[in-house]
Amino acid sequence: MSTTTESEQGWKPIPILLKILFGVIVLWTLGSIIGLSMRYESGLPFFGVYVYGFVAGLIVVLLDIAAPLTFLFALWTRKSWAPTFAFTYMSIFILNSVVAFFMFKEQLGLMQILIPTIVNVIFVGVIYWSRNYFKR
């Protein structure tokens, strides 16, 4: 029998902070799916360029839908690469927000830039402090 608490997968062994993060990411992903057509039409800032149409939709699908779902899968199955993956894609959001702050602050408004940035910094902190969960 090689079942230990360290190798358990699923909902039960996930620490409470990661469970909360899991729920928020699920809601974030659902919101991104619902708002996909809006982003396709109205566009979004991406590293200093305002992109529309297919490119905006592709960015949303990759960074707001596929990446979070990949992280949730890795969280659920305790993949050792999950924290690095999360740090990478969340860093893209944070860096993009910094660029948007300097280039699109008047167009987007300060709150539309700061709130997602603060949330992503909190996400990175939670994952960092819970990174031992992913070690087998």
What CA–CA distance (Å, rounded) separates 80 from 99?
A: 31
Structural domain contains residue 4 = no
Average pLDDT, the chain: 92
Structural domain contains residue 53 = yes
**How many separate domains does the chain show?**
1
Q: What is the reported pLDDT for 2?
A: 44
Structural domain contains residue 121 = yes
What CA–CA distance (Å, rounded) separates 33 from 121?
A: 22
Confidence at 83, pLDDT banded by 50, 70, 90? very high
Structural domain contains residue 113 = yes
**Considering the entire predicted model, what is its pTM?**
0.87
Host domain of residue 73: 13-134
Structural domain contains residue 95 = yes
